[in-house]
Amino acid sequence: SDSYSLLILPGDGIGPEVMVEVVKIIDWFQTHRGMSFEVTQDLVGGAAYDEHGSPCADETLEKALSVDAVLLGAVGGPQYDSLDFSVKPERGLLRLRKELDLFANLRPAQCFDALADFSSLKREVVAGLDILIVRELTSGVYFGEPRGIHADDNNPDNEGGRVGVNTQRYTSGEIRRVARSAFDLAGQRSGRVCSMEKANVMESGILWREEVQWVHDNEYPDIELSHMYADNGAMQLVRNPRQFDVIVTDNLFGDILSDAAAMLTGSLGMLPSASLGAKMENGRPRAMYEPVHGSAPDIAGQGKANPIACILSFAMALRYSFDRGDAAADLERAVERVLADGVRTADLMGPDGGTPVSTAEMGDRIVAAL
């Protein structure tokens, strides 16, 4: 059907203002493409804590479980820094990821031609860069038990008397399913996957390597698979990122490596992400889409934010949730055209000049280009 249900969670900081621009795009597709979106909005993160005392209320989670896709802005802000761990804005995000079982986090790191000079890396190292990091998102040290801070009273050598514990834990099944996502995606691209772990020091890394290799050998023998230690991966991303196509890695390494990769492109305000889970009864995957950038509280409410990352996250929703790769491509081309015309939010104003625009004007220009 051409009818899609969408839960919009603008969140904190610049989240609400970039989401306003996405709603313009959604409206355009409704009016001009005969698509019909049933949109609900709700709170998440600090905004939800302020209202409900919880960064993701049970009702919000239920809504998220009932829709085709969730679109999230950003969470967090300095006013929440002193909150207890269990109710920090981030916990709302982590709850959604876990309860929707969104195990595959797709983070493209793409260098936009018009912005190649924004990178701190040399143009010849990053021009044309287009890699996809597939990060495991529902397990590992983010969720492993036991965890916590305890008294360590029986240990006279421990000055301070406390101990902090987290557990890195992966099952073979958790590794196999995210590996399949990576191989499937690689099949639609260059056909190369590099898996990253620390199998030289962590047994969970050995399991990771073995299971990824097993899926490859048994199910995707035609994809090219290589393995790399995550520290070397960080080095190679800096040295020559274009050697990679799809990278698959665990939750924590993925957090760090994907942020480094995003920054390489010089296009942080441009980068979307998709978090996908198992197929629902209607055949669509559970899914949440969000920009890679954070809530940027320092510029919130000033019309300075770049809405493109959030708009391109909606493009990913069109592609992965709604099977409308055609519409997604139209939207991505509209963004490229606006950039090529020199239209620039504050974060994109640089050596090449350009026409400075506000968050809202950027949204309008993209609508006009559609």
Which of 65, 238, 360, 367 binds a second copy (CB under 8 A)? It is 238
101 is catalytic: no
Report, in Å, the least distance between residue 196 CB and a second copy: 10
- Assess 361 for contact with ligand IPM (CB under 6 A): no
Which of 149, 163, 201, 329 binds ligand IPM (CB under 6 A)? It is 201
- Assess 256 for contact with a second copy (CB under 8 A): yes
Q: Identify which of residues 58 and 231 has a Cβ nearer to ligand IPM in the complex.
A: 231
How many CA atoms lie less than 13 Å away from 333 in the CB half-sphere? 7
245 is catalytic: no
Instruction: Name beta bridge partners: 109.
Output: 131
Q: Rounded CA gap, 327 and 285, in Å?
A: 18
CA-closest candidate to residue 242, choices 283, 288, 183, 194: 194
Q: Which two tokens stand for residue 160?
A: 């301070």
Report, in Å, the least distance between residue 136 CB and a second copy: 12
- Assess 235 for contact with ligand IPM (CB under 6 A): no
- Assess 15 for contact with a second copy (CB under 8 A): no
- What are the backbone dihedrals phi and psi of residue 144, each rounded to the nearest 5 degrees, phi first? -65, 145
- Assess 23 for contact with ligand IPM (CB under 6 A): no
Beta-carbon contacts of 4 under 8 Å, excluding residues fewer than 6 positions away, are: 35, 36, 37, 38, 68, 69, 321, 322
63 is catalytic: no
Which of 252, 280, 346, 367 binds a second copy (CB under 8 A)? It is 252
Neighbours of 198 (CB within 10 A): 19
Which of 8, 18, 71, 263 binds a second copy (CB under 8 A)? It is 263
- Cβ-count burial of 83 within 10 angstroms (0-12 exposed, 13-18 middle, 19+ buried)? middle
Catalytic (active-site) positions: 142, 198, 231, 255, 259
Q: Name the site residues for ligand IPM (rule: CB under 6 A).
A: 90, 93-94, 200-201, 231, 255
